[in-house]
Structure 1
Amino acid sequence: MRTASFGILSTILLVTSFAHAADVKEKAAICAGCHGENGISQTENIPSLAGQPDQFLQWQLVFFRAGSRKNEQMSPIAADLSNDDIRNLAAYFASLPPPGPPSDDDPALNDAGAKIAARSHCASCHTDNFAGAKAVARIAHQREDYLLKALTDFKTSVRSGGGQAVMADVAYPLTEDQIKALAHYLAYFK
């Protein structure tokens, strides 16, 4: 009898997990409209989500839902997400392979950005390969235009929330040209 009960329980868990996976993929399909198939954005100023750390994604969705991070498109979507939705979507996008590096079209700008990244100690939070960890974003191979926007938003205090005050301190002293070089370096990081 015990074996039969285990078999039924296994079947129920398997069916539940398929239903759960289908629900997550259905919710993630809404994200694909802006963030791209498989979480890799093809849209200007929209970040790729694939390969972002799970905790980072969870916190960003919580910030959007709470209104501490504002965005015309994201705020209303996040407002309708439950805690389970947030956990499941974050785990889903974290499990996807991140975008690879595009071909670098400006090695001199890349070299300038590498020096700024070193001087700004970007690796101390984002890790040596800029893949992020825990609640810190993956910035390697992120869209260059999005990195430029994010760094500018941190510099001008448009973007805040959570432990991101350090980003304002990092971005504030950078010139526009330095931000451009840093965004380029991170987007094309090898």
Structure 2
Amino acid sequence: MRRQFISHAISTIALVALGTLPTGAADNSAIKEKASVCSGCHGENGISQTENIPSLAGQPDQFTQWQLVFFRAGSRKNDQMQPIVEEITNEDIRNFGAYFASLTPPKGPDDDDPDLSKKGAQVAAGRRCASCHADNFAGTKGVARLAGQREEYLVKALHDYKAGQRVGGGVAAMADVAYHMSDEEITAVSHYLAHLK
């Protein structure tokens, strides 16, 4: 627990040092070219077609920056991400945040199980998900966009939070929320969020 706190503190200091990038401040074509390495996993225009890999399109700028800092600091781990984040600069992190935030987010597919979505909406309301992720679940600042995200990725993320294998933002809200969720609730809320238009 202490190691996780120290790692999180280092990440926070690093992110503060990063600052923010004014919209349009960098050459978009150069950023797009550099971000092309991301498309191999996260999909063209930041919309993932690969199981358990999230879409990045439309994610809030600061959220993407946070995640890259977490990966680079080692408080968030992924075998595919580690070699990439070791090579990126603070400027790259700022640019990637702005670039992916500027892309059109994915729209959820047609809902093949409206009853499950109804249960998921009840879970989202009961767990007060909108209090951080916004009423339309588009995220804000350092909080993730959930609407239209890949369903199996949302399930995985919630299980990772529940197991303490993933850190959240400035507070441990996600770990606290996910810890108390049943597998059925995780399945239902993930289905609901993934199918939001």
Matched with 1:143 is: 150
1:49, 1:161 → 2: CA distance? 17
Q: CA shift at 1:110, angstroms? A: 0.3
1:154, 1:81 → 2: CA distance? 26
Q: What TM-score do you get using the length of structure 1 for normalisation?
A: 0.88
- Please give the residue correspondences for 1:103-142 in structure 2 after superposition, counting only pairs within 5 Å: 103-142=110-149
Q: Which residue identity is paired with 1:179?
A: I
Q: Deviations over 1:20-68 (max 9, x none)?
A: 3332112111000000000000000000000000000011011111111
Q: Does 1:182 align with 2:189?
A: yes
* Equivalent residue for 1:27, pick from 34, 47, 52: 34
Q: Call closer, same or farther: CA 1:164–1:153 in 2, change over 3 Å.
A: farther
- Please give the residue correspondences for 1:14-93 in structure 2 after superposition, counting only pairs within 5 Å: 20-93=27-100
Q: CA shift at 1:164, angstroms? A: 5.0
1:34, 1:162 → 2: CA distance? 23
Matched with 1:155 is: 162
Give % identity: 66
Q: CA shift at 1:160, angstroms? A: 1.2
Pair member with larger Rg: 1
**Structure 2 gap segments, 5+ residues each:** 1-23
1:164, 1:149 → 2: CA distance? 20
1:53, 1:89 → 2: CA distance? 11
1:134, 1:162 → 2: CA distance? 11
Residue range with higher mean Cα deviation, 160-169 or 65-74: 160-169
1:161, 1:102 → 2: CA distance? 27
CA contact (8 A) 1:63 1:161 kept: no
Q: Call closer, same or farther: CA 1:141–1:163 in 2, change over 3 Å.
A: same
2:152, 2:54 → 1: CA distance? 9
Task: Classify the secondary structure of the residue corresponding to 2:76.
Answer: coil
**Structure 1 gap segments, 5+ residues each:** 1-16
Q: Deviations over 1:137-162 (max 9, x none)?
A: 00010000100000010011111153
Q: Deviations over 1:95-142 (max 9, x none)?
A: 000001210000110000000000000000000000000000000100
CA RMSD of aligned residues (A): 1.4
Residue range with higher mean Cα deviation, 128-137 or 23-32: 23-32
1:23, 1:149 → 2: CA distance? 33
Q: CA shift at 1:177, angstroms? A: 1.0
CA contact (8 A) 1:66 1:79 kept: no
